[in-house]
Amino acid sequence: MNRTIRHVGVVAGILVFALLVNVTLSYLLRNNSLDNNPANQRVLQAQFAQPRGAILAGNTPIAQSVPGSGDFPYLRTYANGPMYAPVTGFYSYMYGRNKLEQAYNSALTGSSDPRVIQQLINSLTGQPGAVASLQTTINPAAQQAAWNALQGKQGAVVAIDYTTGAILAYVSTPSYDPAQLSSPDLDATQAAWKALNADPAAPMADRAGREIYPPGSTFKLVTAAAALEAGWTPDTMVDSPARLTLPGTNTQLTNDSNCGGDQISLQQALQVSCNTAFANVGLTIGQDAIAAQAARFGFGKAFGGDVNSAVSAFPTGLDPSQTALSAIGQYNVTASPLQMAVVAAAIANNGIVMQPYLVSQVVGADLNVISTHSPSSSGRAVSATTAAELQQMMQSVVANGTGKRAQVPGLTIGGKTGTAQSDNVRAPYAWFAGYAAEPHVAVCVFVANAGTNEDQTGGATAAPIFRQVVQALNG
């Protein structure tokens, strides 16, 4: 009998020990994820009762906590809220948080104090942790220039330091003021949420990184890269008829202008953005080569970290006519402005793709740096030789081709225009993806609705915005 009782006691002891281990591990390993879950109302109420770390662009707080009253002793405020909304995101009692407010919530609330013992003491005593601030990579002058240039337009601008991946500008228009959703007036917050989500202009959409569109002729950079990697040179000749009947169809592909002859060099084809020439490039090298090249630039997967982008895509299972259209960035090719900025950045960075990021440092309340982002590469998109050839070809586009309005006196500029037909109703999408060598920046400009006339092209609409952003970065 005593032996049976001892066995039961041992089993019970093991179960109690296992329970204690599980509780301890759950606290140590899951504490931050539970604290950062927007659905955790207990934690949410506690967080709104204490200050929150600031988010800075340069030396200016673009999101910070200020004294409130009553049930909300601290309020979240946003400087130039609409301009920085796709960077900061919102912090709302009713609707949670997103963007950097979510990605770095544990640091902003102090729940990620690296001192484990101090974090445990804070938790047991109910004392708030020391909140941290975020130093973003955003250049305020470039952000302002992009914002100003996009006013009255639906579009986006992404600028990246192509040597590190640091995002220098990240703008989406139209936008919204995150302060509308952080108001202590919950009825007003609810009304603002409903109005913003019902707005057909979709002001809460992140067109810079979370939306994808037909990239049009900017995708010819990818097709050209695939051709060069396959052994072509900028001087390789390619057929460029005025009209090309797509294989297996009666549909004729045309050019927006005279390509310069029935057969032109690959460089000339990029310079004048010759559709029929690049369709023939696609038909010659094949869909697999283009798809593989697109993947090396980042298509087919999200950019992670604190960017959390949408996935750009190159279609599969194409027939020859679909391959021809895909080679010029039409059919079902889709890309975010962030993705096309990364394409231009990799070319400018001698073929190396750098992971884009928005936060350079997390800084404690005592001004000591808690963590610093280390730039990282996701691999090589093209060889250094191919990158140099593409740089020269892109510079020719700006110097002598469709991208002349992107020129900045005294700077080495390379780029590619794009005009994408999205459907038969709306105006074409206007794109420009390029780089400036001296401030080592790559910029993608996307405009969805600049107009319905012939000026709605990448060269006329998007290239001048690129120029303004580069000028702001160049001082």
Q: What is d(CA 31, CA 112) in angstroms, rounded to the nearest whole number? A: 9
Identify any residues that bridge with 77 across adjacent strands, giving them in sequence order: 64
Query: Which amino acid does the sequence have at 56?
Result: L
How large is the greatest C-alpha to C-alpha distance in the chain, in angstroms?
102
Instruction: Provide the 10 A C-beta neighbour count for residue 396.
Output: 18
Q: What is d(CA 215, CA 24) in angstroms, rounded to the nearest whole number? A: 50
Identify any residues that bridge with 136 across adjacent strands, giving them in sequence order: 359
Identify any residues that bridge with 354 across adjacent strands, giving them in sequence order: 377
Q: Are 107 and 370 in contact (CB under 8 A)?
A: yes
User: What are the two backbone dihedrals, phi and then psi, of residue 175, each rounded to the nearest 5 degrees?
Assistant: -130, -165
| Nearest Cα to Cα of residue 111 among 184, 53, 72, 54 | 53
| Nearest Cα to Cα of residue 267 among 119, 389, 424, 428 | 389
Which residue, chain included where needed, has tokens 């709104």? 48
b/e per residue 201-233 (b: at least 16 CB within 10 A): ebbbbbbbbbbbbbbbbbbbbbbbbbbbbbebe
Q: Are 262 and 241 in contact (CB under 8 A)?
A: yes
Q: Are 442 and 473 in contact (CB under 8 A)?
A: no
Which residue, chain included where needed, has tokens 């090309």? 244
Alpha helix locations (H) across 370-412?
Answer: 384-400
Which residue, chain included where needed, has tokens 């090589």? 380
Q: Which residues are catalytic?
A: 217
User: What are the two backbone dihedrals, phi and then psi, of residue 156, each rounded to the nearest 5 degrees?
Assistant: -160, 155
| Nearest Cα to Cα of residue 378 among 346, 353, 348, 341 | 353
Q: What is d(CA 431, CA 207) in angstroms, rounded to the nearest whole number? A: 13
